[in-house]
Amino acid sequence: MKRIKTYRSAAPFHLESGEILPELNIAYHTFGEYVPGKSKVVWVCHALTANSDVSDWWAGLFGKDQYFDNSEYFVVCANCIGSCYGTTGPLSYAPGAKRYFLDFPLITIRDMARAHALLLETLQLEDIYLLIGSSLGGQQAQEFAVLLGEKLQNLVLIATNAVHSPFGVACNESQRLALLADPSFTACDYNGGKNGLRAARSIAMLSYRSYAGYLATQREESNQCVDGFRAASYQRYQGLKLTNRFNAYSYWSLTKSMDAHNIGRKRVSIEAALREITANTLIVGISSDVLFPVSEQEFLHKHIPQAALSVIDSIFGHDGFLVETKQLEQRINDFLHNDFKSFRKTTFKTHKHLKSA
């Protein structure tokens, strides 16, 4: 059984930037029943525009009769700060009874992880059997893993990085420019920025997918087409679909958060920070991902002490983590249910084979 709840903290939440949120609300889902000392806790960190209902957007892995079935695992997924699904964000009311909108402070990935830690303490969970996240969720999972230390047994990082790349920042800035080009966005209205968000999502799709993916799914069935191309319709559809469920101000905030990701900030180094992760770790890359290329997962593999690396062969680019759930399920199952030392050698060999193909 899944439940959505809201944790409300009346205590001020101090951000990495030095600014303060006077109060913090965290919307979260739990799936299954928690029995202290018996339950295997799985904590999911969601990606950019997802929400805390992991069974809704990762149905191939989570939910009734899925791999992480509620009868075997107690699953927690918290909506991150800055989003528009119930956790404190740009649509929340600032002191003075006005919504934040563009005045919402910069939230870093580390701030999000600290909020996860606060919720973990509130839920009185003894430890976490598995922490899993992809993309921005994988960035959160790294920071959370550092905070958890020995309380975390297993970690799965999918299509993510230790520090956000200049290419990733450039992609996000192009999307924010699209938001700014919409006059209703800077007017700071509850429904502002919808046209800008539609354009921003269309830009984002070019980094989420791949040339081969578009060729396979959006190719014209006839050579007579001179207008109204399937690929053009697809871009419009993706933009419209997002505007029907997401908010432009949260999109602005969360892309800024992603840009700010650097696990080494205010620590000795990026490499030293990754070495603080003690959990057995599976790192998954996607062969055609241009936004989070495999080289970034190789870096994680090199510097997280107990890490195995595997690459999913897919034409669907970064979105492969949502599409290739069967491949992902197989790798996670092998990771969790085999001797880690043997698994580590096997997956690295698989990765080397894919790299040379």
Task: Specify the DSSP element, H or E, that contains 284.
Answer: strand 280-286
Residue that the structure tokens 């399920």 belong to: 329
Question: In this structure, what are the phi and psi dihedrals at residue 168, rounded to the nearest 5 degrees?
Answer: -65, -40
Which residues lie below 8 Å from residue 228, measured CB to CB, with a gap of 6+? none
Q: Which residue bears the tokens 């905030």?
A: 253
Tokens of 310: 């595997």
Report the DSSP pairing between strands 24-31 and 98-99.
unpaired
289 is catalytic: yes
Catalytic residue of the set 46, 116, 318, 351: 318
As given in the structure block, the two tokens for residue 166 are: 């200049």
CB atoms within 10 A of CB 211: 12
In this structure, which amino acid lies at residue 315?
I
Nearest to 132 by CA among 38, 34, 25, 58: 58
Distance CA 28, CA 7 (A): 8
Among the listed residues 289, 310, 319, 351, the single catalytic one is: 289
What burial class does residue 245 get, using C-beta atoms within 10 Å of its C-beta: 0-12 exposed, 13-18 middle, 19+ buried?
A: exposed
Say how far apart CA 287 and CA 318 lie, in whole Å. 9
310 classed as catalytic: no
171 SS3 class: helix
Q: Which residue among 83, 135, 210, 253 is the active-site one?
A: 135
Going from the C-alpha of 87 to that of each of 104, 175, 244, 278, 322, the distances in angstroms are: 13, 23, 19, 29, 23
Annotated catalytic, 318? Answer: yes
Residues catalogued as catalytic = 135, 289, 318
